[in-house]
Amino acid sequence: MAGLLQLMDNLSFSVNLVVSFFLLISITALFHYLNKNNKKKLPPSPPALPVLGHLHLLKKPLHRMLIDISSRYGPITFLRFGSRPALVISSHTLAEQCLTNHDMSFSNRVQLPSVMMPDMIGTANYSSHWRNMRQIVSVELLSNQQLQATSITRAEEIEDMVHQLFQSHKSHEKAEGPNCYRRLDFRKTIFELTMNVLMMLIAGKRFYGDKIEDVEETQKFREAVEGWFELSGAANAEDFMPLLRILDLQGVMKKMKRVTELNEEMAQKIIDEHRQEGIRKKKTMISSMLEQGKKDSEKYSDFVIRNIAISLLLAGTETSANTIEWAMALLLNNPDILQKGRAEIDAQVGNQRLIQESDLNDLPYLHCIISETLRLYPAGPLLVPHESREEISLRGYEIPKGTMLLVNLYQIQRDPEIWEEPMKFKPERFEDGRSNGKWMAPFGMGRRRCPGEALAMREVGVVLGALIQCFDWQRIGSELIDLTEGSGLSIRMVTQLEVMYRPRKIMTDVLL
């Protein structure tokens, strides 16, 4: 599902190609559409084009375009993307109704033809298969007990990252002199870290950095994973115009099929390796599931294990990396907040050891920084789109079965009726319970709420904390960092974050 919203955001090229193709059937389609819906009381809607619906209105980023529509048509709006109906919600009361009161009715996921892995946790419809995966992940793999048991793995990866940054800067000092700053591709560094953390938890191996064991396998893995992130964000008109699917004008379907096969091949290879005697040096998520599979082979089939492994990897990497990147950008634009966060870490953790997950409960201001980052830049600005399993009555309107639900979390969490100075980065708003009762849902709500929330908060907290604790940070130049948002299901910065850093002298003994 990653990149679903980019598919919508970037359709202008495809739309131009196909307008003439649909011209001959537009009148027929218009009459069909009007006849089908004239008996239903639908929410307010902008004027639509035959066949294309509201595709002509789409601009980047989608969550901002939807703010413009809601300002004219209200907090509940009905749109049509080609053949797909969509319900746009932009108030917290309506969002809560959809995700709690109508939780079951909206428990399906939007199934797009180009997303060829419809059986993952984030893409599967509500079913016994989904409930089985959810139970395994929530109760067994990501329970509080398991998170505590695997904290050492995350700590080792984070320690390895800060040591590499230290050594890289040390070699830079030889040319530039002591106490200098070094330029860093922050986005790349954090993406590779989050990828390694998840791969170590899932499979006990890493595919980035200096400690790579199998170069050929690594290249294949990177092609599979990075290809998924790239292609799932491509424009694909076929997802919204069924008659175009067979044509595959942009070749997305063919490429995605290749990437899907690679992901499944890699996941199965790791499962097979874990079955071999003596191949495992430490306990991993896959080894745990295989062990349970000896007692219940149907519940823990290879099909289930593959989909869980791919789900955790693809869903957990991009979102956590984006949140850490946004947090650092906001801190560099607000150095007083960065210093306040560092002072808390110095006071509570000190400079004789690296911050650990067990320290996070004693670092409330760090938690405030993360909460404020997620308020301004939620990992999913429109959540992961739901789909209605049945016709629903909402605020007196009739919502058809099969309607895509888009909750504009980005807009709701910046609502001036809820938040004072909503556009300002102000972590203090979360201090001392001041924001208790104020609506936020960065990980979703209801039965489709993200099962990886606790893991994400631990990882983001300790990674951001370690970076603040160990290094001095500066912007490149005097200008503020550009906070322009990109489009997509997982919101990222348009301009990839690059920064200047140097080790803090008081942390030298820890970093050596």
Of residues 189 and 28, which shows the higher confidence score? 189
pTM as predicted: 0.91
Q: What is the pLDDT of residue 37?
A: 53
Q: What is the pLDDT of residue 276?
A: 86
Does the pLDDT value for residue 141 go beyond 80?
yes
Q: What is the pLDDT of residue 59?
A: 78
Q: What is the pLDDT of residue 382?
A: 92
Q: What is the pLDDT of residue 20?
A: 43
The mean pLDDT of 160-189, rounded to a whole number, is 94
Q: What is the pLDDT of residue 6?
A: 47
- Per-residue confidence at 103, pLDDT binned at 50, 70, 90? very high
Residue 164, Cβ density class (10 Å: 0-12 exposed, 13-18 middle, ≥19 buried): middle
Q: Output the known binding site for heme.
A: 450
| 445 touches 100 (CB < 8 A) | yes
| 451 touches 143 (CB < 8 A) | no
- Percentage of the chain surpassing pLDDT 90? 70
DSSP letter at 125 equals: P
The mean pLDDT of 219-224, rounded to a whole number, is 81
**CATH number for 197:** 1.10.630.10
Average pLDDT across the chain, whole number: 89
Does the pLDDT value for residue 36 go beyond 70?
no
| 40 touches 272 (CB < 8 A) | no
Q: Which two tokens stand for residue 16?
A: 């131009």
Whole-number Å distance between alpha carbons of 91 and 194:
33
Q: Output the known binding site.
A: 450
- Per-residue confidence at 31, pLDDT binned at 50, 70, 90? very low
Q: What is the pLDDT of residue 10?
A: 47
pLDDT digits (tens, 9 = 90+) for 471-482: 999 999 999 999
Total of domains in the chain = 1
Q: What is the pLDDT of residue 32?
A: 52
Q: What is the 3-state secondary structure (H, E, C) of 360-395?
A: HHHCHHHHHHHHHHHHHCCCCCCCCCEECCCCEEEC
Q: What is the pLDDT of residue 4?
A: 43
Q: What is the pLDDT of residue 253?
A: 78
pLDDT digits (tens, 9 = 90+) for 340-356: 999 999 999 999 999 99
pLDDT digits (tens, 9 = 90+) for 191-204: 999 999 999 999 99
Does the pLDDT value for residue 24 go beyond 70?
no
The mean pLDDT of 220-225, rounded to a whole number, is 81
The residue assigned the tokens 């180009």 is 114
The mean pLDDT of 8-25, rounded to a whole number, is 46
Q: Which two tokens stand for residue 176?
A: 């530039």
- Per-residue confidence at 281, pLDDT binned at 50, 70, 90? low
Q: What is the 3-state secondary structure (H, E, C) of 58-98?
A: CCCCHHHHHHHHHHHHCCEEEEEECCEEEEEECCHHHHHHH
Q: What is the pLDDT of residue 277?
A: 65
The mean pLDDT of 102-112, rounded to a whole number, is 94
Domain of 114 in residue numbering reads as: 4-511
Q: What is the pLDDT of residue 192?
A: 93
Does the pLDDT value for residue 74 go beyond 70?
yes
pLDDT digits (tens, 9 = 90+) for 231-243: 665 456 667 877 7
Does the pLDDT value for residue 121 go beyond 70?
yes
